[in-house]
Amino acid sequence: MSSENIHDEFISLSQPKIRKFDGHDWFSTKFSRRNLPHWELKGSTYYITIRVHKDLYKPFLKKEIAVCMLQILLNNDRSHYDLQAFVIMPDHLHLILKPLFNITLSEIMKKLKGSSSYQINKLLNRQGTFWQKESFDHLIRNSAGLLEKLEYIKQNPVRAKLVIEAEKYPFSSFFAG
């Protein structure tokens, strides 16, 4: 077996299973809209971006705030969702997750944003809105889409010039120490 085939086999074994979309999926899809459209389909994996409120200036540059957010993300992993990748940037988060059990994506977002707002506002000695009201979510439709979003999340700290190598950024699922 060639090294290319071994690499491809490793990639297919290490990737989470993606719920494939077929013609009947749209009948099972829940759609809602505020400013952005939101699609929910049971068993799906999502790419999510959550931004802090416009009045806050890069709160995750403070290590204790980023650590708090990291703990909240990891504490809910395996109880509410399967967290497949994440990066905590200075003023936003990127996540790839799959809801578990019968928990909806909107329930997960409400819990994550609610508990983190409370805890982070307490650390910042402030009150008020911490997150923007709406987050961006995208249904991952296939393996190629997953790989694209994984690479985007991995390289986000490099593109933002926070680190030279993605593996050096401590608030990412790609951190290598």
Model pLDDT, residue 8: 43
- Check residue 7 and give its pLDDT: 37
What's the confidence (pLDDT) of residue 44?
A: 87
Quote the percentage of the chain above a pLDDT of 90.
66
**pTM score, whole prediction:** 0.81
Mean pLDDT on 108-134: 95
Span 62-82, pLDDT tens digits: 999 999 999 999 999 999 999
Amino acid at 27: F
Higher pLDDT, 7 or 149: 149
pLDDT (0 to 100) of residue 1: 42
Residue 146 · residue 21 · CB < 8 Å:
no
Mean pLDDT of 151-175: 97
The per-residue pLDDT of the chain, averaged, comes to 84
Q: What is the pLDDT of residue 9?
A: 40
Give me the pLDDT at residue 164, please: 97
Domain 42-168 has CATH 3.10.20.30: no
Q: Residue ranges per domain, the chain? A: 42-168
Please indicate whether residue 145 or residue 6 has the higher confidence score (pLDDT): 145
Q: Is the pLDDT higher at 101 or at 16?
A: 101
Give 10-49 pLDDT, tens digit per residue: 344 445 565 555 555 555 555 555 655 546 677 889 999 9
User: Is the predicted pLDDT of residue 136 greater than 70, yes or no?
Assistant: yes
